[in-house]
Structure 1
Amino acid sequence: MPVCVGGCGDCDGGGVVALRVAFVGAGRMGTPVCGRFVSAGHAVTVFDVRPEREGAVRSLGAGWARSAVEAAAGAEVLVSVLPGPREAEAALEDAVFGVLAPGAVWIDMTSNAPAVGAVLRERAGAHGVDVLEAPLGGSPDDAGRGCVRLFVGGSCEVLKRCRPLLEAVTSADRISLVGGPGAGYITKLLVNLLWFGQAVATAEALLLGRRAGIDLAVLRDVLAGSAAGSDFIRRDLSALFAGDYLPSYGLDRIRDQLEVITGEARDLGSPHGVADAVLDVHRRALERFGPVDGELLAVALLEEWAGTLLRP
């Protein structure tokens, strides 16, 4: 993948080369990320298994391909933003890597499973394609504004080559190299485990506080300024108090991710009792509500069990 430091005539004037980017996955996160690449001056060709996404993609100024192989043909960078490991393994077949340009890089922004990532990394490596995993942290709105977090796993050298492209998606201080292959995926899953765990633990505490007669608004403010304070309490609790269960991600996907990280803990011989409890609540929520969108539906289940809503 070419890198420019300015003065070449092929760049945008700021030292960033306009690249041919193959983009696989135009969902809620992928679409705004794609738009960021187009706005940065890159030539982006998109494939998604849903043909109805073509209009939204073309409205961004990106091209549309009928297959991942067609999108990847001659591209210098392949970017994937897929719903999960199953979709990544299915979409990124061997032929996709085989048609990329010499010296190409694959950047996987999927919240992928490390085991699936290893399989795909081997496919890419067989064709001389370098790999950088950079799963996204944040919401679709964050992606559109260019303020997501990237949890990067891979080599420093590959990250250095890819930084100009990644900085179209977010600021330099939000790109974190956390380790070698697999480390980016694990870090993203750990972030999700802790966030969902905080949501469940906070909801239990608030329900208990309400039963004890404490005003929820007062309790929230006290907790936010205490040693128990967290970003969840300070930032996300207001949505819950307003009856918003954050329908930006599927409950079945949440269950899948929690299963992957608890499986990693078992395989590595690391304690995972709390993680198991968080997973159990989300499995029960999935049984109760089905595979619908709602990042806080486990809290809705706790509210049902308590017979009350968390509303000040």
Structure 2
Amino acid sequence: MTQVTVVGIGRMGAPICACLVRAGHQVTASDADPARQAAARAAGAAWEPSAAVAAARCEVLVTVLPGPAEVSAVMGPAVVAALPPGATWIDMTSTSPQAAAEVRGRLAGRPLEAFEAPIGGSPRDAAAAGLRLFVGGDAELIARHRPLLEAVADPAKIVHTGGPGTGYALKLLVNALWFGQAVATAEALLLGRRAGVDLALMREVLADSAAGSAFVRHDLDALFAGDYLESFGLDHICEQLSLVASMADAHGTPHEVADSVRRLYARALDRYGPADGELLAVKLLEERAGLRLRP
């Protein structure tokens, strides 16, 4: 049994808490929003409104937060000072390597350890302990905490990506490519439908062609049913796509396609506000075409 504090009890944090409790760990939950207490209690975790107080009780601190600003706010001087000597911070947030490195630097000079494990998957995957983890950091440290990681993730999907920052980078790239595939596929389907091709036939052919992708094979059914995947907010999607552009600028690599995807999602954010929906940019394309992608 490990004393674990989880900070961030949202869509993913609450089921992660429940998985850790089921695995036999003693879990304390904390969130800036006091309304999240009910979700923490339902998951079987103790509740502590102060992240610093909760951090003082733990061997492992897990943060599951919306983005870099929230990580920076939580991992401030009070929480860092409260962590007991020998504690490990595991950050499961999708953020940029640069922002994370700045926060990780606050641990310098204290006997603390840290690694990143940003998550891939849905709240349903989290509830079933079937998440994918992009784990960056020291291999020995990660191996020591692997049983805890396996409490929330499919063991076959826990990938050690390399040193600090590589997990964050790979998770952002996976997201950027998925969003790009979603809008590119939607554009193709809208054009094909206008040209008189049956949608169901297009899905079948695309899935088994050189243009096939996980989006075509696994996510088009949701779109065809009118589900825009309300598991992530447009504002956070735009933030992540901006982080990809900033990362590319920092490394001197081109990002024209990523910028096009980012601009389209930014227009969707202007249209719908910070609503939940990973495919709301596709909805925007449908509106502009005057056509719904429904078989």
- Give the TM interval when normalised to the shorter protein: over 0.9
Q: How does 1:151-230 map to 2 (within 5 A)?
A: 151-230=134-213
Structure 1, gaps ≥5 residues long: 1-17
What is aligned with 2:66? 83
Structure 2, gaps ≥5 residues long: none
1:247 aligns with one of 230, 241, 260: 230
1:32 aligns with one of 8, 15, 26: 15
Distance 1:39 1:126 in 2: 35
1:145 aligns with one of 105, 125, 128: 128
Q: CA deviation at 1:52?
A: 1.1
Distance 1:302 1:60 in 2: 39
Which amino acid in structure 2 is aligned with residue 197 of structure 1? G
1:70 aligns with one of 26, 47, 53: 53
1:129 aligns with one of 112, 129, 144: 112
Distance 1:292 1:124 in 2: 35
Query: Where in structure 1 do 4 or more consecutive aligned residues deviate above 6 Å?
Result: none
Q: Secondary structure at the match of 1:175?
A: strand
CA contact (8 A) 1:94 1:124 kept: no
Q: CA deviation at 1:114?
A: 1.6
What is aligned with 1:5? none
Which amino acid in structure 2 is aligned with residue 112 of structure 1? T
What is aligned with 2:33? 50
Equivalent pairs counted in the alignment come to 295
Q: CA deviation at 1:94?
A: 2.1
Q: Secondary structure at the match of 1:227?
A: coil
Which amino acid in structure 1 is aligned with residue 11 of structure 2? R
Distance 1:269 1:51 in 2: 43
How big is each residue's C-alpha offset from its partner over 1:144-184, in whole Å with a ceiling of 9 and x where there is no partner? 00111000110101111110111111122111011111111
Cα RMSD (Å) of the superposition? Answer: 0.9
What is aligned with 2:265? 282
Which amino acid in structure 1 is aligned with residue 72 of structure 2? E
Which amino acid in structure 2 is aligned with residue 41 of structure 1? G
Distance 2:84 2:2 in 1: 11
Distance 1:150 1:118 in 2: 19
Q: Secondary structure at the match of 1:173?
A: strand
CA contact (8 A) 2:17 2:44 kept: no
2:88 aligns with one of 94, 105, 111: 105
Distance 1:89 1:101 in 2: 19
How big is each residue's C-alpha offset from its partner over 1:71-123, in whole Å with a ceiling of 9 and x where there is no partner? 01131100000111111111111221222222111000011222221122111
Distance 2:143 2:80 in 1: 21
What is aligned with 2:279? 296
What is aligned with 1:272? 255
Which amino acid in structure 2 is aligned with residue 49 of structure 1? A
Q: Secondary structure at the match of 1:149?
A: strand
CA contact (8 A) 2:96 2:247 kept: no
Q: Secondary structure at the match of 1:171?
A: strand
Which amino acid in structure 1 is aligned with residue 32 of structure 2? V
Q: Secondary structure at the match of 1:298?
A: helix
How big is each residue's C-alpha offset from its partner over 1:199-243, in whole Å with a ceiling of 9 and x where there is no partner? 000000001101111011111101111111111001100111111
What is aligned with 1:93? 76
What is aligned with 1:235? 218
Q: Secondary structure at the match of 1:174?
A: strand
CA contact (8 A) 1:97 1:129 kept: no
What is aligned with 1:4? none
Which amino acid in structure 1 is aligned with residue 194 of structure 2? R
Q: Which moved more, 1:73-82 or 1:190-199?
A: 73-82
CA contact (8 A) 1:21 1:44 kept: yes
Q: How does 1:8-19 map to 2 (within 5 A)?
A: 18-19=1-2
Q: Which moved more, 1:139-148 or 1:112-121?
A: 112-121
TM-score by length of 2: 0.98
